[in-house]
């Protein structure tokens, strides 16, 4: 009788083992054998993404807390990175800058003095004939400011500190054309004031070598006014 029971047990074990192995293989292959599962997953992911989108008060969609402009069927205008040197509004002509620096240093800038209570300022003269945009003017005025400030700091540190202590005043005015700009630069240098003329590289709005902005100072206001006192504010 014992051999009969053993044979029955062996007959049950074999199909049971086969069933377990078949179930395990089927469970592992289930994602590959069910095409609807991947599409359902994508659908759930898409619906979850849409649920994060809301509308703010201006009608813009808000995704993850950030407003997003609604998409338009028309192609958007191309965006340019103005930080690159090839597109920069503020690019200058390096060779012309070197020549202007030499001309500016011919003045005795170190001899200019101002009392601590005396008004000290920097004047930026914009060449109005070039019809530059506001952004272009801002970039060129920045070049003129740095060029003048660095030169006075090097050649007349005391005057530079005086200007800093007074809040670094800067006045923007305009002149009619390049010829007047050159005359003003000559007048300023004859008074031993720092005068730096910025010449553009011509990569955007103006021709190469155009004299865009003249910086005069920092220096005593009463001395600079002899040069720029009659010019109109920008």
pLDDT band for position 34 (cuts 50, 70, 90): low
Q: In this model, does residue 75 exceed pLDDT 50? A: no
Residue 15: predicted pLDDT: 65
37-51, 78-92, 102-116, 137-151: least confidently modelled range = 78-92
- Higher-pLDDT residue of 222 and 60 is 222
Whole-angstrom Cα Rg for the chain: 38
On the CB side of 117, CA atoms within 13 Å amount to 0
Residue 94: predicted pLDDT: 75
- Higher-pLDDT residue of 134 and 41 is 134
Residue 96: predicted pLDDT: 79
- What is the C-alpha separation between 186 and 216, in angstroms, rounded? 11
- What is the C-alpha separation between 89 and 133, in angstroms, rounded? 10
Angle ∠(172,173,174) on CA atoms, nearest 5 = 135
Q: What is this structure's pTM?
A: 0.62
- Higher-pLDDT residue of 232 and 39 is 232
77-81, 112-116, 204-208: least confidently modelled range = 77-81
Across the range 193-208, mean pLDDT stands at 92
**CB within 8 Å of 213: residues ≥ 6 apart:** 124, 125, 126, 127, 137, 140, 141, 143, 144, 197, 198
Q: Tell which residue, 200, 190, 121, 105, has the closest CA to residue 155.
A: 105
Across the range 82-107, mean pLDDT stands at 70
Q: Please, what is the average pLDDT of the chain?
A: 79
- What is the C-alpha separation between 65 and 54, in angstroms, rounded? 9
Q: Indicate the fold that domain 94-233 takes in CATH.
A: Bit1 (3.40.1490)
On the CB side of 188, CA atoms within 13 Å amount to 33
Residue 143: predicted pLDDT: 96
Q: In this model, does residue 215 exceed pLDDT 90? A: yes
């Amino acid at each position: 009788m014992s051999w009969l029971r053993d044979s029955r047990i062996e007959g049950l074990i074999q199909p049971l083992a086969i069933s377990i192995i078949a179930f395990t293989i089927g469970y592992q292959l289930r994602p590959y054998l069910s095409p609807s599962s991947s599409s359902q997953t994508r659908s759930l992911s898409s619906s979850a993404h849409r649920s994060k989108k809301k509308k703010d008060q201006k009608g813009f969609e808000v995704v993850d807390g950030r407003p997003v402009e609604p998409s338009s069927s028309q192609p958007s205008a191309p965006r340019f990175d103005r930080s690159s040197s090839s597109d920069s509004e503020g690019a200058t002509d390096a060779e012309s800058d070197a020549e202007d620096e030499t001309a500016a240093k011919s003045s005795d800038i170190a001899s200019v003095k101002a009392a601590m209570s005396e008004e000290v300022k920097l004047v930026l003269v914009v060449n109005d004939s070039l019809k530059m945009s506001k952004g272009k003017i801002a970039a060129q005025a920045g070049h003129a400011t740095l060029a003048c400030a660095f030169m006075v700091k090097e050649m007349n540190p005391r005057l530079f500190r005086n200007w800093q202590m007074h809040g670094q005043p800067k006045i923007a005015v305009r002149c009619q054309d390049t010829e007047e700009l050159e005359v003003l630069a000559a007048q300023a240098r004859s008074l031993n004031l720092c005068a730096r003329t910025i010449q553009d590289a011509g990569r955007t709005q103006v021709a190469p070598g155009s004299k865009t902005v003249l910086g005069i100072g920092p220096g005593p206001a009463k001395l600079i006014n002899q040069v720029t006192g009659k010019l109109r504010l920008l």
